[in-house]
Amino acid sequence: MKKISSLLLILIFIFTGIAMAFDNELVVYSARKEHLIKELFEKYEREQGIKIKYTTGKAAVLLQRVLSEGANTNGDILLTVDAGNLWHAAQTDVLYPVNSQILKTNIPSHYRDPDNLWFGLSIRARTIVYNTDKVKKTDLSSYEDLADERWKSRLLLRTSKKVYNQSLVAMLIANEGEQKAKRIVNGWVDNFAAPPYSSDTKVLEAIAAGQGDVGIVNTYYYGRLLKKNPDLPLGIFWADQGDNGVHVNVSGAGVLKHSKNKDKAVKFLEWLSSRDAQKIFADANMEYPVNKEVEAHPYVRAWGDFKDSKINLVQAGRLQTNAIKIMDMAGYK
Ligand code: FE
């Protein structure tokens, strides 16, 4: 009898141990790479005593996983890049609407979903880069201007298959209307100096090597490359400053509809938007904090201030199909 009761006691210990571990744990599915989140997640673990487990992978693969796991998922949060991807997640009904005053205060409204399904956590600017030996700053003005024949055989872009460019064109449609966006994309294709590249970094390297004079990239790729090769003849130009403002996008997150830890997941998102976390979250990838109380890293600030587009990023998703159609019809591969 004594043996049985002590065995029972051990079992009770084990089970409560498991339950407690489960209770003090959040699982994040992250399309943001490990080296960009690890430090931040560990800080939360230390300060809040909640273990943050994470799986990293490509945005589409993670979303597929969430969908196939359905109600059986262990996941609590989906963290991904680009409003186009966040919108897709919202569309497939895997996210849970979060009504949080903290998130609303910390994150400007155009960087979060109008239905509160996802929240931008860092801002990435997609703007013009140029070869400083061949182009003067005063030659540059807008995304539209790069469609002008002055730039014939001088423009380099990344592939239209990348969601970053789909969002860029979707936001051009939102800002300028479909007809004008069409003219702009056609003009870009006419001005290509080479077929589209597979990455922003390759675009930058090609411009530095003189294969083209101008391009459009996310500024953190510029930052990474210049950190390694400070002497490259590359400059950043803030597009559309007299007009709609620079095309910006976000990395962001939402709470999963089938999360078993929704309250904790919301608290974690709120913390990610806080002063403390924002600095680390943005600096890790040379991005801009979404919380306006927090300054960007001095290295990033040195690129200068810019006006950003104020149209809600949900349009990057809503107009994605139209954007893809326009790029297809223009022969933009
Ligand atoms: Fe990227």
- pLDDT tens-digit map of 43-53: 999 999 999 99
How far does CA 173 lie from the centroid of its chain?
20
Predicted confidence band of residue 16 (pLDDT cuts 50, 70, 90): very low
Return the structure tokens found at 268.
């974690």
Name the nearest CA neighbour of 169 among 12, 319, 294, 1.
319
What pLDDT is recorded for position 187? 98
User: What's the average model confidence in pLDDT over 165-175?
Assistant: 98
Kindly report, residue by residue over 258-309, the tens digit of the pLDDT.
999 999 999 999 999 999 999 999 999 999 999 999 999 999 999 999 999 9
For residues 158-170, average pLDDT? 98
321: CA distance to ligand 1 center in Å?
Answer: 21
In the reported structure, the alpha carbon of residue 17 is separated from the centroid of ligand 1 by a whole-number distance in angstroms of 40
Extract the tokens encoding 28: 């994040």
Confidence band, pLDDT 50/70/90 cuts, at residue 11: low
For ligand 1, the distance from its centroid to the CA atom of residue 163, given in whole angstroms, is: 10
Ligand 1: distance of its center to the CA of 220 in Å?
Answer: 8
Provide the pLDDT for residue 97: 98
Residues 318 and 204 in one domain: yes
CA 272 → CA 7, 123, 153, 189, distances in Å?
A: 43, 13, 44, 39
CATH number at residue 41: 3.40.190.10
For ligand 1, the distance from its centroid to the CA atom of residue 130, given in whole angstroms, is 19
* Distance between CA atoms of residues 119 and 290, nearest Å: 10
Do residue 241 and residue 284 come from a single domain? no
Range of the domain at 288: 2-123+250-296
Contacts of 89 (CB under 8 A, 6+ apart): 63, 66, 78, 80, 95, 117, 118, 254
Do the Cβ atoms of 168 and 126 come closer than 8 Å? yes
Q: How far is the CA of 152 from the centre of ligand 1 (A)?
A: 27
Give the distance (Å) from ligand 1 centre to CA of residue 14: 43
Which DSSP string corresponds to 23-46? HTEEEEEESS-HHHHHHHHHHHHH
Cα→Cα distances 279→54, 222, 247, 285, Å? 20, 20, 22, 11
Tokens of 230: 């400070």
Nearest-CA neighbor of 188 among 145, 124, 230? 145
Distance 68 CA to ligand 1 centre (A): 26
pLDDT tens per residue, range 186-239: 999 999 999 999 999 999 999 999 999 999 999 999 999 999 999 999 999 999
Identify which of 275, 250, 270 has the alpha carbon closest to the alpha carbon of residue 99: 270
pLDDT above 60 for 22? no
Distance 80 CA to ligand 1 centre (A): 11
CA distances from 142 to 147, 153, 240, 303, 309 (A): 9, 17, 5, 17, 13
303 domain-assigned? no
Between the CA of 169 and the centroid of ligand 1 the distance, in Å, is 17
Is residue 302 a part of any domain in this protein? no
**Alpha-carbon distance 175 to 310, whole Å?**
10
Looking at every residue in the chain, the average pLDDT score rounds to: 95
User: Could you tell me if 7 and 101 lie in one domain?
Assistant: yes
Q: Are residues 184 and 277 in the same domain?
A: no
The answer to whether 62 and 55 are in contact (CB under 8 A) is yes
Provide the pLDDT for residue 17: 43
Compute, in angstroms, the gap from residue 293 CA to the centroid of ligand 1: 24
Give residue-wise pLDDT tens across range 77-126.
999 999 999 999 999 999 999 999 999 999 999 999 999 999 999 999 99
Claim to verify: residue 216 and residue 233 sit in the same structural domain = yes
- Do 292 and 318 belong together in one domain? no
What's the pLDDT at 2? 58
The alpha carbon of 258 and the centre of ligand 1 are apart by a number of angstroms equal to 28
Would you give the DSSP letter of residue 223?
A: H
